[in-house]
Amino acid sequence: MKLKCSLYDFYRDDLIPNLKNNTQMQIVQISDLHVGSQFLQEKFDILVDEVNKLNPDVIIITGDLTNEGLMKEYEQCTSFLRKFNTKKIITISGNHDYRNTGYLLFKKFFPFETVNELSDDVVLVTVGTARPDRNEGEVGYRQNLWLERTMKKYKDKVKIVAMHHHLIAIPDTGSDQLTVVDAGDVLRTVLNSKVDVVLCGHKHRPWAWTFGALTVVNAGTATSERVRGFFENTYNILTIANKTVQVDLKIVGGKRLPIEDIVNNYSQFGDV
């Protein structure tokens, strides 16, 4: 059953300002594909079509590419990702990718750089939060120190940090003990380093928290049945122009809207 959500009716794609002409960069954040069981092939096909039309500069995939970390899932996922015509795909591992010693396979199938200087103005740094056979996330003392030192080199750039686990708890996700366990240290680091955006996945619930100049953006699941709180498959589109970042939520096969609108117009969609 598809839940009806009146919120979607307020937005029309033709009312979203077209920033393409003065856009410095467009980044698509996809998360929690969960290739394996509960993977929705038809949603993936729509996703590929939409993203290829957008033609973003970069795609960042914030973890849980596979459901159980199995070889056949990694192989399938690799062939799926080849369908994107984007210049650069950055991947981060999630807790599901690390199941069944999948952490050994992740490095082989999806080698990635942690520091990505995407342009003269934009840097995207990835942080590993998944640990073998554990669901909770952790940045760790050393990685957090490294993050702080690294960010100091990019004072004048738009700074984006991407990780799988969510840094801050979000609504409609129940009793939550799975934020990164050292979230306080990491939050202090990103605020002190004047990071502009933190991109997270994991909870399958799109959301955004803003703290002064910092926005912590959570992506929904793009292609898994396990949607939560927001009953659509979604991904995020970041538009960076003149050193400012706009984040839009895109429903796979549906509307595009500023992500802050799902916060400002919050409703538990089951009640609509």
Binding residues vs Fe ion (CB under 5 A): 32, 64, 94-95, 202
Q: Indicate the residue among 149 and 226 with the shorter CB distance to Fe ion.
A: 226
Min dist CB 1 to Fe ion, Å, is 23
Beta sheet of 58-62, edge-to-edge order: 88-92, 58-62, 25-30, 234-241, 244-251, 256-258
Euclidean distance between CA atoms 213 and 256, whole angstroms: 23
End-to-end CA distance of the chain: 14
* CA distance to 180, 237, 269, per residue, from 248 (Å): 25, 5, 19
Euclidean distance between CA atoms 190 and 174, whole angstroms: 26
Task: Please say whether the beta carbons of 31 and 64 come within 8 A.
Answer: yes
Q: Indicate the residue among 151 and 162 with the shorter CB distance to Fe ion.
A: 162
Q: Indicate the residue among 95 and 173 with the shorter CB distance to Fe ion.
A: 95
Min dist CB 119 to Fe ion, Å, is 29
Q: Indicate the residue among 32 and 182 with the shorter CB distance to Fe ion.
A: 32
- Which residue is closest to Fe ion by CB? 64
Of 65, 85, 90, whose CA–CA distance to 75 is shortest? 65
Min dist CB 170 to Fe ion, Å, is 13
Min dist CB 34 to Fe ion, Å, is 6
Q: Indicate the residue among 118 and 252 with the shorter CB distance to Fe ion.
A: 252
Q: Indicate the residue among 136 and 148 with the shorter CB distance to Fe ion.
A: 136
Min dist CB 67 to Fe ion, Å, is 8
Min dist CB 16 to Fe ion, Å, is 28
* Residue positions counted in the chain: 272
Min dist CB 31 to Fe ion, Å, is 7
Three-point CA angle 163, 102, 222, nearest 5°: 50
Q: Indicate the residue among 33 and 247 with the shorter CB distance to Fe ion.
A: 33
**Placement of tokens 């073998």 in the chain:** 132
Cβ density class 88-111: b for 16+ within 10 Å, e for less = ebbbbbbbbbbbbebbebbeebbe
